[in-house]
Amino acid sequence: MVYASLYPLSGWRDQGLSVFAFLTGAWPRYVTPFDVGANLIGYVPFGFLCVLAVRSRLSASASVLVALAAGAALSIALEAAQSLLPARIPSKLDVLSNTAGALAGALLAVPLARWLLEKGPLLALRTAWFTPGPRTDFGLVMLALWLLTQLDATTLLFGAGDLREWFAPPAGGVHAPELFVTIEALVAFGHLVAVAALASVLVQPGAPARVVVAILLVAALAVKTVAFAIVFQAQNVLSWLTPGGMKGLAFGAPVALLVVALPRTLRLALAALLLMGSTALVNLAPSNPYLAAILKLWQQGHFLNLNGLTRLVSALWPFAALVCVFALVAARPAAKTPSVD
């Protein structure tokens, strides 16, 4: 939320007014339902998690008040910081929307808190399917962030780790289409198999590792489709399914389901090698001029700011995942091989 509210994080300057002047200023002249909805929905998880964080120590009403106060304080602080960014416009309507979202999330969490924290289906699934311990939690967070990276419509299918925007502009040379197709296929294949190997290591002995991999694959493709639906018109929601992407999926999906039967050490080694190799290919791939041209024309309120965050996560994900692989290497392996059903 901090990143989305303060993106692009540049151009800071004092504009000669109190940073809280927006609280007593006029209401915004132009209001779009998308921005109001984004402001409200964006704070629902915050309020929800605030209640979950304190519910075991506070009453239901006190937990809601904590979430409400925290949401309002965070929103006011971020809107005040926006006063120092010429590209951003602070608004008390945003504060009201954010606070309402935090309150909605808090009220939603109250009847679900004890169920989620003590006997909910997610906790039961975590216990039944995945090995205990903080290293597994780290791995599950990496898998969740991998799904988040699929919201970045500027990358190759499953491609992550593109650092060229940070260190150097992409090369402007002319390349044959076959080269782009080949690299995209290899990137999709490598990252998919690496994620499958990582996920299977987290699975509890006897749990269905192939089911976990299949769920991850379907979820990733669904998120990618949603991203393209938001960025482009409805008829282009499957534009991510390029010739290279199709080849990577066709070869990667069967291999991803097969690697779960390999020994644990071999799966971790394979995940590390494929992460490094696929990330290198992402940074060597020719840029896609058609996608870049479309994104320059696209504007979608707060989702454009969220896209900056997803690109940041996408750039850093392979390196964090590699750290997770090394942490799992140091962990004591499970006594049995997980079920591959």
pLDDT value of position 234: 60
Tell me: pLDDT of 305 over 70: no
Q: Number of helices and strands (H, E) in the chain?
A: 14, 0
Token pair belonging to 90? 């602070």
Q: Please give the share of the chain, as a percent, with pLDDT higher than 70.
A: 85
User: Half-sphere exposure of residue 280, counting CA atoms within 13 Å on the CB side?
Assistant: 6
**One domain for residues 25 and 128:** no
pLDDT value of position 290: 57
Tell me: pLDDT of 189 over 80: yes
Domain-embedded: residue 317: yes
Strand partners, 203: 130
**One domain for residues 129 and 115:** no
Q: To the nearest whole number, what is the mean pLDDT of the chain?
A: 83
H-type helices in 55-150, by residue range? 60-82, 92-109, 113-114, 121-129, 134-149
**One domain for residues 59 and 139:** no
Query: Which DSSP symbol is given to 238?
Result: T
What's the pTM value of the predicted model, to 2 decimals? 0.72
Give the number of domains in the chain: 2
Strand partners, 145: none
Q: Could you tell me which residue, 289 or 325, shows the higher pLDDT?
A: 325
pLDDT value of position 128: 87
pLDDT value of position 66: 96
Domain-embedded: residue 336: no
What is the dihedral angle through the alpha carbons of 173, 175, 180, 182, rounded to the nearest 10 degrees?
Answer: -130
pLDDT tier for residue 299 given thresholds of 50, 70 and 90: very low
**One domain for residues 91 and 134:** no
**Which of 89, 119, 149 delimits the end of a domain?**
119
Q: Please give the share of the chain, as a percent, with pLDDT higher than 90.
A: 42
Burial, 5: exposed, middle or buried (Cβ in 10 Å; 0-12, 13-18, 19+)?
buried
Domain-embedded: residue 339: no
pLDDT digit string (tens) for 48-101? 999 999 988 889 999 999 999 999 999 999 999 988 888 788 888 899 999 999
**One domain for residues 199 and 314:** yes
**One domain for residues 39 and 101:** yes
**One domain for residues 127 and 55:** no
User: How far is 72 from 67, CA to CA, in rounded Å?
Assistant: 9
User: How far is 108 from 231, CA to CA, in rounded Å?
Assistant: 30
In angstroms, the Cα distances linking 103 to 23, 96, 119, 126, 131 are 20, 10, 24, 28, 35
User: How far is 79 from 95, CA to CA, in rounded Å?
Assistant: 7
Tell me: pLDDT of 335 over 70: no
Q: Could you tell me which residue, 56 or 195, shows the higher pLDDT?
A: 195
**One domain for residues 106 and 154:** no
Domain-embedded: residue 340: no
Domain-embedded: residue 193: yes
Domain-embedded: residue 69: yes
pLDDT tier for residue 151 given thresholds of 50, 70 and 90: confident
**One domain for residues 26 and 166:** no
User: How far is 150 from 220, CA to CA, in rounded Å?
Assistant: 6
Tell me: pLDDT of 31 over 50: yes
Domain-embedded: residue 74: yes
pLDDT value of position 233: 61
What is the dihedral angle through the alpha carbons of 230, 232, 236, 239, rounded to the nearest 10 degrees?
Answer: -90
Domain range enclosing 61:
2-119
* Overall average pLDDT of the 309-329 stretch: 90
Tell me: pLDDT of 288 over 80: no
**Which of 96, 119, 142 delimits the end of a domain?**
119
User: How far is 216 from 201, CA to CA, in rounded Å?
Assistant: 14
Strand partners, 130: 203
Contact 191, 314 (CB under 8 A): no
* Overall average pLDDT of the 234-247 stretch: 77
pLDDT value of position 326: 93
Q: Collapsing DSSP states into helix, strand and coil, what is residue 174? A: coil
User: Which of 106-110, 251-255, 287-291, 329-333 has the weakest average pLDDT?
Assistant: 287-291
* Overall average pLDDT of the 113-124 stretch: 76
Tell me: pLDDT of 173 over 70: no
Tell me: pLDDT of 318 over 50: yes
**One domain for residues 165 and 84:** no
pLDDT value of position 236: 65
Between the ranges 132-141, 162-171, 221-230, where is the mean pLDDT highest? 132-141
pLDDT value of position 301: 47
Contact 70, 132 (CB under 8 A): no
**One domain for residues 11 and 137:** no
Q: Could you tell me which residue, 334 or 95, shows the higher pLDDT?
A: 95
* Strand intervals (E) in the chain: none
**Which of 71, 91, 119 delimits the end of a domain?**
119
* Overall average pLDDT of the 308-324 stretch: 88
**One domain for residues 105 and 149:** no
Domain-embedded: residue 20: yes
In angstroms, the Cα distances linking 113 to 59, 125, 243, 250, 266 are 11, 17, 46, 42, 40
In angstroms, the Cα distances linking 76 to 16, 22, 226, 318 are 19, 10, 31, 34
Tell me: pLDDT of 322 over 90: yes
pLDDT tier for residue 26 given thresholds of 50, 70 and 90: confident
